[in-house]
């Protein structure tokens, strides 16, 4: 009877050991689950890293849009400049056509013989200005200078002109004494802007 009890106890112990081993075998797979969890977390990290280039790639967009207004304004300025350049001056606009200097003028107030060398004892010099176009009132000015004297002013005369079509305006400068020898220049201005110049020389006797 004690033998059977011992055998039963031994079998019971062996059976319990088998159950224990079986229990350990069943619990083995859950031990691997943390590895699966860490593996699954890896894509999450990769996803967060991948999100960073998306932010940086979108950063240039504002810079590109910031240049758009500058390009538009440049194009507008170029178009305005082209339009201005394409606008021709009126055909009948008043303007100075030519300038001549001499010692005498004819009945039409034009210099008879244009010259650029004069004698010191030539008392009177003329500058005739030929103009074209129409004006209700423009101002022509003749400024005579002695260049040897650092541009010393000799005379400055203005005339108001109203004309329709070609015309000639004459300016006269006089010196009762001998002219200083050297280089001279007469500048013709139209409404304050120099539009023609003529140089000449007075030689020693």
Rounded distance, CA 180 to CA 203, Å? 8
Q: How many CA atoms lie within 13 A of 55 on its CB side?
A: 5
pLDDT at 80: 56
How many Cβ atoms sit within 10 Å of the Cβ of residue 96?
Answer: 19
Q: List per-residue pLDDT tens for the chain, 205 residues long.
A: 443 434 444 444 444 443 333 333 443 444 444 434 333 333 334 333 333 443 334 444 444 444 444 455 555 555 555 555 555 667 789 999 999 999 999 999 999 999 999 999 999 999 999 999 999 999 999 999 999 878 899 999 999 999 999 999 999 999 999 999 999 999 999 999 999 999 999 998 7
CA distance 121 to 178: 5
Which tokens sit at 28? Answer: 């083995």
Q: Tell me what pLDDT residue 74 has.
A: 55
What's the alpha-carbon Rg for the chain, to the nearest Å? 53
Task: Give the per-residue pLDDT at 132.
Answer: 96
Strand partners, 100: 128
| Residue 106 near residue 112, CB atoms below 8 Å | yes
Strand-pairing partners, residue 86, are none
Cα–Cα distance measured from residue 103 to residue 161, given in angstroms and rounded to the nearest whole number: 23
What is residue 115's predicted lDDT score, i.e. its pLDDT?
Answer: 97
As a whole number of angstroms, the distance between CA 111 and CA 102 comes to 6
Range 95-203: architecture per CATH? Sandwich (2.60)
Global pTM exceeds 0.75: no
- The DSSP secondary structure of the chain, one letter per residue, reads -HHHHHHHHHHHHHHHHHHHHHHHHHHHHHHHHHHHHHHHHHHHHHHHHHHHHHHHHHTHHHHHHHHHHHHHHHHHHHHHHHHHHHSPPPTTB-EEEEEEEES-B-TTS-BSS--SEEETT--EEEEEEEEESEEEEEEEEEEEEEGGGTSEEEEEEEEEEEEES-EEEEEEEE-SSPPPSEEEEEEEEETTEEEEEEEEEEE--
What pLDDT is attached to residue 127? 98
């Amino acid at each position: 009877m004690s033998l059977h009890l011992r055998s039963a106890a031994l079998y019971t112990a062996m059976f319990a050991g088998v159950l224990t081993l079986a229990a350990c075998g069943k619990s083995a797979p859950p031990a691997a689950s943390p590895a699966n969890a860490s593996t699954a977390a890896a894509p999450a990290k990769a996803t967060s890293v991948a999100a960073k280039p998306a932010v940086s790639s979108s950063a240039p967009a504002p810079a590109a849009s910031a240049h758009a207004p500058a390009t538009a304004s440049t194009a507008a300025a170029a178009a305005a400049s082209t339009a201005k350049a394409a606008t021709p001056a009126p055909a009948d606009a008043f303007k100075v056509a030519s300038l001549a200097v001499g010692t005498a003028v004819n009945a039409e107030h034009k210099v008879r013989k244009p010259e650029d060398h004069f004698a010191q004892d030539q008392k009177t010099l003329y500058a005739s200005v030929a103009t074209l176009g129409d004006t209700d009132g423009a101002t022509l000015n003749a400024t005579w200078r002695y260049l040897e004297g650092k541009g010393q002013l000799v005379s400055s005369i203005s005339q108001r002109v109203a004309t329709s079509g070609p015309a000639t305006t004459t300016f006269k400068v006089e010196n009762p004494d001998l002219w200083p020898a050297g280089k001279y220049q007469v500048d013709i201005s139209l409404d304050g802007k120099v539009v023609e110049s003529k140089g000449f020389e007075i030689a020693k006797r």
